Amino acid sequence: MRFRIYNTPMIVKKIEKEKAILLRQQGKTYNEILKEIPVAKSTLSLWLREVGLSKPQVQRITEKKRISQLKGAKARRDERVRSSNEIFERSEKEVGIISPRELWLMGTMLYWAEGGKEKAWRIGGRIQFGNTDPFMMKMFVSWLLITFDITPDDLVFEIYIHKNSEYRIEEVKSFWKEALGYSLKEINNIYYKKHNPKTNRKNIGNVYNGVLRVTVKASTNKLRQIAGWTRGVYKNVAHCGIV
């Protein structure tokens, strides 16, 4: 008499378990095994918890995990770059053409945020504006020349930079001259900030170019004019519900 053997679920699982153990003993990773044996990862972990691996097998699995993590990190980084570039391009187009009035208001707001102010205890003063961003500095210097009856000869430029970057000062000066173009004939003064070794600074190396500050000669009345513009901005935004 012949008996027909059916592949019951229990027999199938037993075969899958034996195959999984064999693959693991060959040094395969869980993900590699799961590609051949479609079971839950928790089930696979239960089957293989007592399977020992040789040192070379452990090293291979560790290296596979490291490579997989690197690939995953690169894929995520590439996606962030792609997404960021898409946002940058879309946002850039939203700005459109800047009118002279808009430019005037933009420069006024920049100075309100970053510029030097006349103090109640110190009457007088000059227009002074500094930043680390070369695009902001170029825009502001252009704004000065467009807004007021002045020339590049009325501007004084100074660099404030950490002492431990002194060896790069010629490179830094070239950076700012190139960034501002025709407006920057020379750097009038260099001021070095004492380095504090305890500070964990990120703005170091070749990407650090200090702060460029521009001062407008004999500009007390112009400074007060900008202060009046900022007051006007504040008073005229009431319809926006800000004040």
Q: Residue 168: which residues within 8 A CB-CB, separation 6 or more?
A: 206
Size of the chain in residues: 243
Q: Is the pLDDT of residue 220 over 60?
A: yes
Q: What residues are paired with 115 via a beta bridge?
A: 129
Q: Is the pLDDT of residue 57 over 60?
A: yes
Residue 4: band (very low, low, confident or very high) from pLDDT cuts 50, 70, 90? low
Between 138 and 69, where is the model more confident?
A: 138
Task: Specify burial of residue 115 (Cβ count, 10 A radius: 0-12, 13-18, 19+).
Answer: buried
Which pLDDT score is estimated for 93? 92
Between 198 and 136, where is the model more confident?
A: 136
Between 205 and 174, where is the model more confident?
A: 174
Q: Please give the single-letter amino acid code of residue 159.
A: I
**pTM of the prediction?**
0.66
Q: pLDDT tens, 119-131?
A: 776 777 899 999 9
Contact 110, 136 (CB under 8 A): yes
Query: Regarding beta strands 211-216 and 155-162, do their DSSP bridges make them parallel or antiparallel, or are they unpaired?
Result: antiparallel
Q: How far is CA 60 from CA 46, 63, 75, in A?
A: 21, 5, 22
Q: Is the pLDDT of residue 49 over 80?
A: no
Q: List the Cα angle 134/138/141 in 5-degree steps.
A: 135
Q: List the Cα angle 50/51/56 in 5-degree steps.
A: 140
Q: Residue 195: which residues within 8 A CB-CB, separation 6 or more?
A: 162, 163, 164
Q: What residues are paired with 122 via a beta bridge?
A: 119
Residue 133: band (very low, low, confident or very high) from pLDDT cuts 50, 70, 90? very high
In the block, tokens 């378990």 appear at: 17
Tell me the C-alpha distance between 169 and 191, whole Å.
11
Q: How far is CA 233 from the centre of its chain?
A: 31
Closest C-alpha among 69, 86, 4 to residue 31: 69
Q: pLDDT tens, 138-195?
A: 999 999 999 998 998 999 999 999 998 889 999 999 999 899 886 666 787 899 988 6
Query: Regarding beta strands 211-216 and 128-131, do their DSSP bridges make them parallel or antiparallel, or are they unpaired?
Result: antiparallel
Q: Is the pLDDT of residue 98 over 80?
A: yes
